[in-house]
Amino acid sequence: MKYTITILIVMFLLALVSSAAGQAVAKENGYKLMPGTETPAFKKSSDGEMCLVFREYIVKTSQRRDTGENVTVYKREASAIAESACKETGSSYFDTESSDQFFFGLSGSLLFVNKDSSVEPYRDLTIYNLKTREWLTEETYTGEPKLVDGRFVVFDSDSDKRGEEKTCKDYAKWISEDLSITWVQGKKLDLQTLKVSNVGGLRCLSYRLRIPGA
């Protein structure tokens, strides 16, 4: 009886380890896209390469040796089955020009990619128009931008103005923890007019400077 109970306990513990490992692999193999963009109908990853199949386009990415990834877009045939579309792409339709960027999402004919900015803790969001196959605009952001109603990109960006310390409740705590502090302004980009407007007031954020090579 004791032997049977011991076996059951071991099997239970192995199941927990297997489940945790599976969750870790799933998280590692996941591909984070900007909220509000299209959900791929199919995606496949192998040896540093990723293929994502969308309604009208197929996006393939491959890691570069230095930094970032190559992002290549293909037209998807209307009759192409999602699961096999990655094998039947034909000639590329569009290639991004920058080499240090990462695929960030697709919405209709709009392609979103991001890359590290020269100023922490910000990143650059670049948007391409796949209909014209041209660069559309670029915005600097921090945090997690999102696409709203397929037309507006809402994001936080560096503010030219500095807020008052008394409005930043964790200011003293962050300073004591040797964190850097930046002030951000909410923004809304209209993808039809390309005009940017302010949303809300100033907010303070903390971050830790990255040390190159550390």
Q: How confident is the model at residue 196 (pLDDT cuts 50, 70, 90)?
A: very high
pLDDT tens sequence across 69-90:
999 999 998 888 998 899 877 8
Q: What is the average pLDDT across 31-56? A: 92
Per-residue model confidence (pLDDT) at position 119: 79
| For range 119-138, the mean pLDDT | 94
- State CA 188 to chain mean position distance: 18
Q: How far, CA to CA in Å, does 50 sit from each of 43, 69, 116, 161, 195?
A: 7, 10, 20, 41, 33
pLDDT value for 199: 96
Strand-pair category, 180-190 with 123-129: unpaired
pLDDT for the residue 106: 97
- The length of the chain in residues reads 214
Mean pLDDT of all residues in the chain?
A: 83
Residue 5 confidence class, pLDDT cut points 50, 70, 90 = very low
